[in-house]
Amino acid sequence: MSELKTEVEPGEAGLDAARLARIDRHFQRYIDDGLLPGWLVTVSRNGKLAYASGAGSRDTEAGLPVTDDTVWRVYSMSKPVTSVAAMMLYEEGAFELTDPVSKFIPSFADVRVYAGGSDAKPLTVPAIEPVRIWHLLTHTSGLTYGFHRTHPVDAMLRAAGYEWGWPRGTTLEQACDAWAGVPLLFQPGAEWNYSLSVDVLGRVVEVVSGQSLDEFFAERIFGPLGMTDTGFYAPADKLDRLAALYGVGRDGKASRLDSMGKGATRKPTMLGGGGGLVSTAADYNRFLSMLLSHPGSPAGFLDGARLLSPRTVEFMGKNHLPGGADLEEFGRPLFAEAPFKGTGFGLGFAVTLDPVPGRIATSPGELSWGGAASTAFWIDPAEGLTVTFFTQLLPSSAHPLRSQLRQMVYQALI
């Protein structure tokens, strides 16, 4: 088990300890008001953990507190891990970013694009551009999610059993073939839409590597980085540390969601690289530290383990949306785990282009994403910061936790 242990005093890291204490006071109110069961925050600077604090319960009903080793469902914070896996294979020459996905998943050879009609009788046209690997990494593939509930194609996914989960017994290979048979929302590369793209990317990783996604992650990422508590479920010896899952009840307060939460207690048949992982604060902090360049350790390295080259990490952190557009210009007005204004998208992360339009006091070049249960992270290369927030509340749009955490962290910089 990787240990969550502060390595430097806040003042030595350029952080004001008294001002960091505002984080505790601010988020304690969410617990006092019954809006969150519990939370855990980490702030690292230049690769050293300077602040770790938590409060409340990982399981309110059982009276179990949040602990440093609590296991959390990170949902879409799985996406950067899958993106790193893909780019590791890219560095080996396994594919080019412009390769059609059908080269690895044949069912994507003849995809169709929605052009009108209803979910029962859609009008479709052929895709004039193949879905390519870079489309998957940037969510510009034309794929979608069933839970968006804004388009007939979303309804088609739900009818096929794909909303917050998948039909019982489905494998990732079977799911990808099913998704390829559903029309795309738009021509590949024409727009940005938060989607199942990274799950499909996970299948590409499997085909190219010859390993299942859990095997690749364990051997090539989690093992080298010492992420001993991260995987696609919490095994029996870690179940007592797994946080309970909560949603927003009718009264606005946190309400237990065991029916959905139990998915993390057993090995899934479908290894969802877009949202299937559980992890701890210590583990995920190590993953982020690997992606940040800090004294003695270039980006892509950590404690002697080299996953990516610094050039590749830098490339992943560029805005890859055509014309340098932000999500407001190029994206559909749907829910996503990042603000749209002033935010672009790289290969696996949201990228802050300009913090002013989004009204968030961060730095240009910040990389970030979050998970459906209100977990979040960001990497600020300009300030040498990595920050994580863990809780277990669906949906992540329920409270402005991420923007408030940024306020609290940046006001503590000296």
* Nearest-angstrom CA–CA distance, 86 and 176: 17
Find where tokens 């560095």 sit. Answer: 91
Work out the burial of residue 251: count CB atoms within 10 Å of its CB; fewer than 13 is exposed, 13-18 middle, 19 or more buried.
exposed
**pLDDT tens-digit map of 97-134:** 999 999 999 999 999 999 999 999 999 999 999 999 99
- Per the confidence metrics, is the pTM higher than 0.95? yes
State yes or no: pLDDT of 404 exceeds 80: yes
Nearest to 70 by CA among 30, 27, 33, 37: 37
Q: pLDDT band for 2, please (50, 70, 90 cuts).
A: low
Q: pLDDT band for 294, please (50, 70, 90 cuts).
A: confident
Q: Please, what sign has the CA dihedral across residues 178, 93, 367, 80?
A: positive
Going from the C-alpha of 351 to that of each of 90, 172, 245, 375, 389, the distances in angstroms are 21, 28, 29, 18, 18
Residue pair 119/152 in contact (Cβ under 8 Å)? The answer is yes
Give the ranges where 160-248 is alpha helix by DSSP (H).
172-180, 197-209, 213-216, 223-225
Q: Coil, strand or helix: which one is 172? A: helix
What's the pLDDT at 1? 62
State yes or no: pLDDT of 84 exceeds 80: yes
DSSP code, position 363: -
Q: Coil, strand or helix: which one is 352? A: strand
**pLDDT tens-digit map of 321-349:** 999 999 999 987 777 777 789 999 999 99
Give the ranges where 244-323 is alpha helix by DSSP (H).
258-261, 281-291, 310-316
State yes or no: pLDDT of 159 exceeds 90: yes
